[in-house]
Structure 1
């Protein structure tokens, strides 16, 4: 507390006064964090069950990542890609090895990784597959969320993300998510890629039917089409495996990575693919001033090393089962749908009880932070450092909210 007055209301008002309203955040103002816990400006603590949309997989201020950032801040932060710095090669090599690919192209944000993947796929289509100039098309799924750039919202089916931002970029065909027959039927001679989230996060942690991803892989192989997996939210330990594709033994032609790759410290994204795909790019054809900067590489290299031990994947898998058991026990008691993969869950609340926003506000009042999406659905994505006791606390609090 500060002078026995709550600071939160004033801070919320100031944020609303001086910021474009492109978000509708919960009325909480965070000032510090550690592990799975956040503290607001009034000293109240909250269990973080969102983890920055998976950007904080390793928790807030993970000591190994903070140490790497501090050490690099004292040495070098930016050179641009005009020069090579001493953190670059290690990061690219270790991330490529984690992905089982030949090459890595570092960028900054997830949307940049998606845009990069689109550009690479089109260039590959023209130079390698032999698609006529300007005719390349890419298959995407309805309910997708790949970012909010002009090109990406052009193939969004979410009207909030898409409406009034046209004219839209052509070259995309939308098919139902999880429908392999529809996807196969949409591919033609000019199709260069299929771009999918192996689990749709923004849609409410929607897991496709078993066999869908292997089927997509086979169709892409048979039709000489690139399979691009957007693992920006689902990857890097979130689902109990390094990548969500790993659950069905699927290896895409291209991984799009971000969020957790920066450890919650700096924005880092990357495209990982083999040289027969990423090798189509030549100097001057794509770039980023800050992409692969020394600070980003220093932090992201430590992220890759944390993942290389397998500890966080095992934690996510084991604790995810505890989360699943607790949440499925609430079906018929306020929840009408539960989807869990690792430490990632989508919960459908009975809309007769409350909206997802109202549920998140009630959870916040009880010290749990989560995020709603699409009406009565909320998502849980706690840091992978969360404990069994903290998971139980989150479930107990959710139970109280639904009962109330």
Structure 2
């Protein structure tokens, strides 16, 4: 029987001193059923994590994407420890900075030069600043999530605190809809079109090439936000996978197997503006520990068969979800979407139950069966068919309970803890 006593004690303490008790929204306790889920991790090994109460879980969150190889990977640990014994951030840069920049220029299709920062949002923001300087324009069109900085989050529902003048400079366009993009390019002088190249089930045939052609036709630069897709679908990210080369790309998350590093990469004449007045500079941009981790991680990702393995396991899980939705006749409540390495379940309301009620049943059941996942899963090298089968078995149990809840039109006797209450959520009617 799982116990979460220590997690609950730590959560109570942290809520007194830190909002949401997590430094990342999507790691907050609110994303799980309160009282019956872990909040604090003690250690990890491969694709398994152990919480502070000693509970063991197969981890399908992978730290929201950064864990591409697995926890406690010996070769990465060795590289990090070697550099720790030298210095982390110093008064001069590390030679690792040169090696990593050269490596990215070899494997990233658009990379002629690279600038390192820390978070994914730092990299996308650097790209937008460079694009605005290069084009002499201010307006940005975006599709997807690009971080917490004002230019991006100001165009979302979570724009509180962002000046109206800033909000007017960014507009969303619809993924896989070239007509919508062109309509907005016609209406505004746009500096950059930025998008996550792989969203949901991926781009429709010709979409990304069409985005590139339209952006250039109307004088804008094309930026791929590869923070999620980079190093997860292919070594060179969505650009390599789909065969479309943008003017710039932002990378982060999976580059260093959990160590904090990101980068903006792109054409030399654009990046060289940093030498001529475009300010992209951070104290920890040259952190040598994360660079050591990144080089060691990329060495593993370059090994033959890495991405074929991820795709095989992901396909097994995605197909398993689809079959279970049919088994329980839940097509009006559940759906599966995403490409194999980053896919999962979507929820809809039914009767008096809203989509978060349905998701809560799913979340509770997966935790009870030793699976740590929100809805969309991430994979790393250490996930095997054994873990995939455990995931599918847990999903079967979750869907059976969802079917019961839908038929009863009630969570009574099914949900034991609080409902999930994510920071980012759809409107509930």
- TM-score (norm: length of structure 2): 0.81
Give yes or no for contact 2:314–2:379 (8 Å, CA) kept in 1: no
Cα 1:360–1:369 change in 2 (3 A) is same
Over residues 76-134 of structure 1, what are the superposed CA-to-partner deviations in whole Å (9 max), with x where a residue is unaligned?
11126xx33221100110011110321110000111001101101111112xxxxxxxx
Over residues 200-241 of structure 1, what are the superposed CA-to-partner deviations in whole Å (9 max), with x where a residue is unaligned?
3xxxx45343321121122234334211010101110x2356
Give yes or no for contact 2:193–2:222 (8 Å, CA) kept in 1: yes
Give yes or no for contact 2:58–2:370 (8 Å, CA) kept in 1: yes
Q: 1: CA distance between counterparts of 2:276 and 2:294?
A: 24
Match for residue 211 of structure 1? 206
Determine helix, strand or coil for the equivalent of 1:148: coil
Give yes or no for contact 1:155–1:174 (8 Å, CA) kept in 2: yes
Q: 1: CA distance between counterparts of 2:4 and 2:113?
A: 54
Q: 2: CA distance between counterparts of 1:164 and 1:123?
A: 25
Q: 2:98 aligns with which of 82, 89, 93?
A: 89
Over residues 149-195 of structure 1, what are the superposed CA-to-partner deviations in whole Å (9 max), with x where a residue is unaligned?
22221122xx2x22454445142232222210111222147322110
- TM-aligned CA deviation for residue 140 of structure 1: 1.2
Q: 2: CA distance between counterparts of 1:88 and 1:363?
A: 41
Aligned pair count reads 375
Check if 1:245 corresponds to 2:239. Answer: yes
Give yes or no for contact 1:207–1:339 (8 Å, CA) kept in 2: no
Unaligned runs of 5+ in 1: 127-134, 372-377
Q: 2: CA distance between counterparts of 1:338 and 1:59?
A: 25
- TM-aligned CA deviation for residue 255 of structure 1: 1.2
Q: 1: CA distance between counterparts of 2:43 and 2:221?
A: 43
Q: Which has the higher helix share?
A: 2
Give yes or no for contact 1:240–1:341 (8 Å, CA) kept in 2: no
Match for residue 362 of structure 2? 359
Q: 2: CA distance between counterparts of 1:9 and 1:286?
A: 41
Unaligned runs of 5+ in 2: 402-429
Give yes or no for contact 1:240–1:314 (8 Å, CA) kept in 2: no
Match for residue 73 of structure 2? 62
Match for residue 384 of structure 2? 387
Cα 1:165–1:193 change in 2 (3 A) is closer
Give yes or no for contact 1:98–1:308 (8 Å, CA) kept in 2: no
Match for residue 131 of structure 1? none
Match for residue 319 of structure 2? 325
Q: 2: CA distance between counterparts of 1:330 and 1:214?
A: 35
Q: 1:3-402 to 2 correspondence within 5 Å?
A: 6-21=5-20, 23=25, 24-25=28-29, 26=32, 27-28=37-38, 29-79=40-90, 83-100=92-109, 101-126=111-136, 135-141=137-143, 144-156=144-156, 159=157, 161-167=158-164, 169=166, 170-188=168-186, 190-200=189-199, 205=200, 207-236=202-231, 238-239=232-233, 242-264=236-258, 266-282=259-275, 285-332=279-326, 333=328, 334=330, 336-352=334-350, 354-371=357-374, 378-402=375-399
Q: 2: CA distance between counterparts of 1:172 and 1:85?
A: 37
Q: 1: CA distance between counterparts of 2:294 and 2:282?
A: 17
Give yes or no for contact 2:41–2:51 (8 Å, CA) kept in 1: yes
Cα 1:295–1:5 change in 2 (3 A) is closer
Give yes or no for contact 1:240–1:343 (8 Å, CA) kept in 2: no
Give yes or no for contact 1:87–1:294 (8 Å, CA) kept in 2: yes
Cα 1:240–1:340 change in 2 (3 A) is farther
Q: 2: CA distance between counterparts of 1:396 and 1:162?
A: 40
Q: Which moved more, 1:330-339 or 1:36-45?
A: 330-339
Q: 2: CA distance between counterparts of 1:206 and 1:54?
A: 17
Match for residue 129 of structure 1? none
RMSD: 2.3
Determine helix, strand or coil for the equivalent of 1:106: strand
Cα 1:299–1:14 change in 2 (3 A) is same
